[in-house]
A and B are shown apart, each in its own frame.
Chain A
Amino acid sequence: MTATAIEANGLGLGYGRRGHRALDGCSFRVPAGRVCALAGPNGAGKSSLLALAAGLLRPTGGTLRVLDGIPSDARGSTSRAEGLRGRIAYVAQDKPLYPQLTIGETLRLGHELNRGRWDAALAERIVEEGGGLDPAARIRSLSGGQRTRVALALALAKRPELMLLDEPMADLDPLARHRLTAALMTEAADHGTTIVISSHILSELEATCDYVLLLDGGRVRLAGETEDLISAHTLLTGPVADLPDHTVVESRTTGRQLTALVRGSSAVGGGWQTAQPSLEELLMAHLRSPDAPPMLTPSAEVATA
């Protein structure tokens, strides 16, 4: 296992004739063994980043290394999924599956394509859990949540070192979400699998993710351990006055009260109520202030050669 799961240096992805950029000069590092939240508004480039890491697209600028190779150059092998592609699992946002196949045939497809890495028992267990799905049911007859289950079964059963999940829980009811999150966390606990989840549901991320990557407009805004990022910021409330000498991420005034999120955790002068922001507050503040400078913790920095 490698120590770095993902390392991007100046990564860019552009498309269309007007040179629209989905990603623009992203540099960050995700260490192995983390559960990383990939957050950001629509159009921030999250899906593009995951697709690049999965080797579905070629970057148009910069470099991207995943585990210890370059995903878009990775060659799979015919009979054994030993290559880089075998070690990465990816589930797209629309959870593509072949509609005319049955669940059993879909799992068989996973077995056939991932020879040597496939854990058939795990796949069946995930599909059967909590009111088992009929293996003879055709994919097109399944609900969104059931499709997600099958798609995640395919991803988990190939025993990957890295899982890239694009909004996996969007279709699920809270119970199913809890069960599948538990399955993912158990996987991380057992095998130290690195998991990168892009999600809109920020409130749930704090308990599951120990690493966060915030993208906005194709650029990295925050990257690093959630704990460290949170403790590096302070939420100040108090009567409207000049803010102390810290980098201000965002400040809002309502009437006579000023609320501000600042960088820095050293003691602030009198009159200010301090508190530690939640992950959601931290991310939202950065999204509301696009001009705030990006912040990366040391483990998320990429050494620019």
Chain B
Amino acid sequence: MVEFRIDRRSGVATYLQIVQQTKQALRLGLLEPGDRLPTAREVVEATAINPNTVLKAYRELEREGLVEARRGLGTFVTRTLGGPAADTPLRAELADWLDRARKAGLEQDDITALFTSVLEERADNHKGEGA
């Protein structure tokens, strides 16, 4: 069972937070196909948010094909979120690059900063293409 943490001050819409946290749980393997998501009542009891928000989030997840609502039973996970397989060739390439970065003298923080900066730069470009 997954527990939602709602950050009221984050500026992110509540229902989106639920969607994102569900997806994250799927990625991390905390939720597997066949698991039941908490009912709206259970979420509301814990987080004190509007029940319609929960329903809206679940509808969004259903729209993306990740969950399925079964009348009278609950909302169930239908598939995993494809995370990369453990032995993808990308992993070996990344390990290679890391070794080279280390040899070049970069510290952990520098590597993280470099990686994040490139990721964001590319993300903007990707957004421009895909929009």
Q: Are A185 and B48 in contact (CB under 8 A)?
A: yes
Query: What's the minimum C-beta distance from B129 to chain A, rounded to whole angstroms?
Result: 19
Q: Please judge, given known A-B contacts A203-B8, A207-B6, whether A182 and B41 are in contact too, CB under 8 Å.
A: no
Q: Hey, what's the 0/1 contact readout for B33-61 against A, CB within 8 Å counting as 1? A: 00000001100111111111100000000
Q: Are A182 and B52 in contact (CB under 8 A)?
A: no
Chain A 61-110 interface residues, beta-carbon cutoff 8 Å to B? none
Q: Are B44 and A182 in contact (CB under 8 A)?
A: yes
Query: What's the minimum C-beta distance from A150 to chain B, rounded to whole angstroms?
Result: 20
Contacts of B9 in A (CB 8 A): 203
Query: What's the minimum C-beta distance from B63 to chain A, rounded to whole angstroms?
Result: 17
DSSP majority for the A interface?
Answer: helix
Shortest Cβ distance from A209 into B: residue? B50
Interface stretch, picked from A154-162, A186-194, A292-300, is A186-194
Query: What's the minimum C-beta distance from B99 to chain A, rounded to whole angstroms?
Result: 42
Query: What's the minimum C-beta distance from A100 to chain B, rounded to whole angstroms?
Result: 34
Is B130 positioned at the interface, with any CB of A under 8 Å from its CB? no
Contacts of A171 in B (CB 8 A): none
Q: Are B44 and A207 in contact (CB under 8 A)?
A: no
Q: Are A207 and B41 in contact (CB under 8 A)?
A: no
Q: Are B6 and A185 in contact (CB under 8 A)?
A: no
Q: Are A182 and B8 in contact (CB under 8 A)?
A: no
Q: Please judge, given known A-B contacts A207-B53, A208-B50, whether A186 and B8 are in contact too, CB under 8 Å.
A: no
How many residues on chain A are close to B (CB under 8 Å)? 18
Of A35, A185, A188, A204, the most chain B CB neighbours within 10 A belong to A185
Q: Are A189 and B44 in contact (CB under 8 A)?
A: yes
Complex CA–CA separation, A208 to B6 (angstroms): 11
Q: Please judge, given known A-B contacts A203-B9, A206-B8, whether A188 and B48 are in contact too, CB under 8 Å.
A: no
Shortest Cβ distance from B46 into A: residue? A182
Q: Are B11 and A207 in contact (CB under 8 A)?
A: no
- The listed residue (B45, B46, B50) touching A207 by CB distance below 8 A is B50
Q: Please judge, given known A-B contacts A203-B8, A207-B6, A207-B14, whether A35 and B44 are in contact too, CB under 8 Å.
A: no
Contacts of B51 in A (CB 8 A): 185, 188-189
Query: What's the minimum C-beta distance from A163 to chain B, rounded to whole angstroms?
Result: 14
Query: What's the minimum C-beta distance from A198 to chain B, rounded to whole angstroms?
Result: 17
Q: Are A210 and B50 in contact (CB under 8 A)?
A: yes
* List of 5 A-B pairs having minimum Cβ-Cβ separation, nearest first: A189-B51, A181-B48, A182-B48, A185-B44, A189-B41
17 contacts between A and B (CB under 8 A): A178-B48, A185-B45, A185-B48, A186-B41, A188-B44, A203-B8, A206-B8, A206-B14, A207-B6, A207-B8, A207-B14, A207-B48, A207-B50, A207-B53, A208-B49, A210-B52, A210-B53
